Amino acid sequence: MATVKGKRVLVTGAGGFIGSHLVEALVESGAEVRAFVHYRGNGSWGWLDRSTHKAHFEVVAGDVTDRDIVASAMKSTSIVFHLAALIGIPYSYHAPVSYMRTNIEGSLNVLQAAREAGVERVIHTSTSEVYGTARYVPINEDHPLQGQSPYSASKIGADKLAEAFHLSFGLPVVTIRPFNTFGPRQSARAVIPTIISQCLSGEIVKLGSLTSTRDFNYVSNTVDGFLRCAESSGTIGKTINIGSGSEISVGELVEKIGKLLGREIRTRKEQRRLRPTESEVERLVADNSLARRTLKWKPRVTLDDGLLKTADWIRSSLDEYKANEYSI
């Protein structure tokens, strides 16, 4: 197995939830990290503003839709972790063009720049949402893709670009397909922080569908998958699911979180939190056998332990959440 130690790596989307955790893990692994964060007028680096590793990575602020700055950030790098994306599904119904530009055009810029720079490897980030509602379970990497939201359609487009650059130009690409990652720093646009923040702020939790099932995976498990995709042989050209292999409905998740926090929770379904009927992904659960076999990966943090870690962080950062408001 190769190693990222001593390698110059670029992480796009580095200021985000998963990206910031990945940057810190790469620093701890001995990589020379260049963090590409979304440019903000106030100079913020997103979650990296608060990182205890700030002295050990370089920051480039920009936008992945700007090909020139992406190419500039790519110089002298060996490995690229491409995480930059618009990810909120509800907002994709309102601003689909933004998703196509960032997720498809942005990925094209990253892939072109990586090809021109002659990088050793690109780890392209997909999402379990590209599968749509499961046609069979567990979902392996051969499962058909279905764009049930503008967001998932944009990610399918990006995935196919990564595939095309590998098959057309020999670009060494690995596509990592995380299922529902959760943990500290995740916004309330995701269901677990939504439940926990509302639970800590009151007795009623307002949600959309309670019957949909998901495969939740703690963030350190997902980050471990990224590192192994960069370091493992035999992964080039492959798409690899990173999921726990277990599913739980949103309703069951509420009950579990209530028990872990020692609280009685009542749920209220809100129409505005529901996806359009044909757009709702009813069931997701990963077949992670390829990751176990190829990457020697397995989830190390359980759902319960991950929920407790996440709840502790949200409790200490509750001012980050507008628990009683719904933002798309």
Average pLDDT, the chain: 96
User: 17: which 2 tokens?
Assistant: 């939830």
Under a CB-based contact definition with an 8 Å cutoff, are residues 107 and 161 in contact?
Answer: yes
- Alpha carbons 199 and 311: distance in angstroms, whole number: 10
CA torsion 78→16→22→112, rounded to 10°?
-20
Question: What is the C-alpha to C-alpha distance for residues 105 and 85, in angstroms, rounded to an integer?
Answer: 10
Q: What's the pLDDT at 63?
A: 98
Is residue 43's pLDDT more than 70? yes
Residue-level pLDDT at 282? 97
Domains of the chain, residue spans = 8-183+217-242
- Give the integer Cα–Cα distance in Å for 113 and 76: 11
Say how far residue 56 (Cα) sits from the centre of its chain: 23
What is the structure's pLDDT at 38? 97
How many H helices and E strands in the chain?
11, 13
The token duo for 121 is 């490897």
Task: Quickly state the pLDDT bin for 1 (edges 50, 70, 90).
Answer: low
pLDDT at residue 320 in the model? 86
In this prediction, residue 238 carries a pLDDT of 98
Residue 314 reports pLDDT greater than 70: yes
Who's near 271: CB < 8 A, 6+ residues apart? none
Mean pLDDT of 187-213: 93
Low-confidence winner among 58-67, 154-163, 199-208, 288-297 (lowest mean pLDDT): 199-208
> Which is nearest to 129 in space by CA: 99, 109, 101?
99
Fold of 8-183+217-242: Rossmann fold (3.40.50)
- Tokens representing 53 are 């590793």
Eight-class DSSP state of 41: T
Q: Are 151 and 328 in contact (CB under 8 A)?
A: no
pLDDT at 177: 99
Q: Would you state the pLDDT for residue 203? A: 80
Q: What is the pTM of this model?
A: 0.97
Q: Residue 144 has which token pair? A: 């058909």
pLDDT at 2 over 80: no
- The answer to whether residue 242 scores a pLDDT higher than 90 is yes
Kindly report which listed range (19-23, 250-254, 274-278, 319-323) carries the lowest average pLDDT score: 319-323
Cα–Cα distance for residue pair 166/244, rounded to 1 Å: 28
Rg (CA), the chain: 19
From 292, 78, 320, 280, select the one nearest 194 (Cα to Cα).
320
